Amino acid sequence: MEYHRLIEVMRRLALEAGDKIMEIYEADDFEVKVKSDASPVTEADEAADAMISAGLRAAFPDLVLVTEEQADSHSRTADTFLIVDPLDGTKEFINRRGDFTVNIAFVEAGLPTRGVVYAPAKGRMFYTRADGASVEEFGPFDKDNPGKLRPISVAEPDNSALMVVASKSHRDQATDDYIARYAVRDMTSAGSSLKFCLVATGEADLYPRLGRTMEWDTAAGHAVLQGAGGTVVRFDDHQPLLYGKPGFANPFFIAYAPRVELKDA
């Protein structure tokens, strides 16, 4: 794989999709539908998906592409593939809270090794470089020429005073009970894959997820966190969270800075 070209294409498509998403987000109204799994989908999800899918298929016609909004792609399992969530955090988008992202990732041998997470309403973009290390880019975002880049890395955590990030829309008692087992200095909440990025930048130490997610929700954020020195493991046995699973559903997981002393499930 030509990683330089891969990152160039993923970054540009994320920005183009972000422009379209914001055009719809800033309109007076937009259409919201309900999918077969009872989750919401908007015209922004569908428009961004069409743009990203067309761009990836044109650039990498030999790679398997899995995308949330195209159900026929969900049965195409492989060890190496591209995976897309064109608008992660649809509920945040509908409620105009801004914590939504464009997620594009490349999975190799079951692990996401390259990824782009773009939060257009927040003006934040995170991605892995060709060498696998993660950066945050600062706008304004030119589609052909990256701007100022800052290498990012996880924090050195203090296990007596951890910073924890949790879901904004999917927080539950089980999550709170698990977090209560740690010595927590403070907590924050965020939507979509931004939670991975907050751990990647050292703004948080720990992100436990005891709820339903799909691989397209997590792959890009996982890649960014991994490229910043972080780790994502299954909640039940602390083994690596792998991708390309039948149905693409994730188990519960924990994303963290490696020196966090994990509690058992």
Spans of all domains in the chain: 3-151, 162-256
CA dihedral 34, 36, 37, 41 (to 10 degrees): -30
Tell which phi-psi region holds residue 57, choosing left (phi > 0), alpha (psi between -120 and 50) or beta: alpha
Least confident residue range of 21-35, 195-209, 221-235: 21-35
Q: What DSSP character marks residue 100?
A: -
Q: Does domain 3-151 have CATH number 3.30.2350.10?
A: no
For the record, the structure tokens of 58 come out as 């044109």
Average pLDDT, the chain: 92
pTM tops 0.85: yes
Q: How many residues does the chain have?
A: 265
Query: What is residue 49's three-state secondary structure?
Result: helix
Determine whether 4 is exposed, middle or buried from the number of CB atoms within 10 Å of its CB (0-12, 13-18, 19+): exposed
Tell me, yes or no, if the two domains 3-151 and 162-256 fold the same way: no
Q: For domain 162-256, which CATH number applies: 3.40.190.80, 3.30.1390.10, 2.60.40.1180, 3.90.180.10?
A: 3.40.190.80
Residue 28: the pLDDT is: 75
More confident residue, 262 or 38: 262
Q: Nearest to residue 213, comparing CAs of 172, 174, 239, 252?
A: 252
- Predicted pLDDT at 16: 98
- pLDDT grade, residue 35 (50/70/90)? low
C-alpha closest to that of 220 among 91, 96, 134, 161:
134
Is the pLDDT at 157 greater than 90, yes or no?
yes
Q: What is the pLDDT of residues 124-151, one digit of tens each?
A: 999 999 999 999 999 899 999 999 999 9
Report how far apart the first and last C-alpha atoms of the chain are (Å, whole number): 37
77: pLDDT strictly greater than 90? no
Between strands 206-209 and 253-256, the pairing is: antiparallel
Q: Confidence band (pLDDT; 50, 70, 90) for 38?
A: low
Arithmetic mean of pLDDT, 200-228: 96
Report d(CA 213, CA 196) in Å as an integer.
Answer: 13
Per-residue pLDDT at 101 exceeds 70: yes
Tokens of 256: 């963290």
Q: Is the pLDDT of residue 31 over 80?
A: no
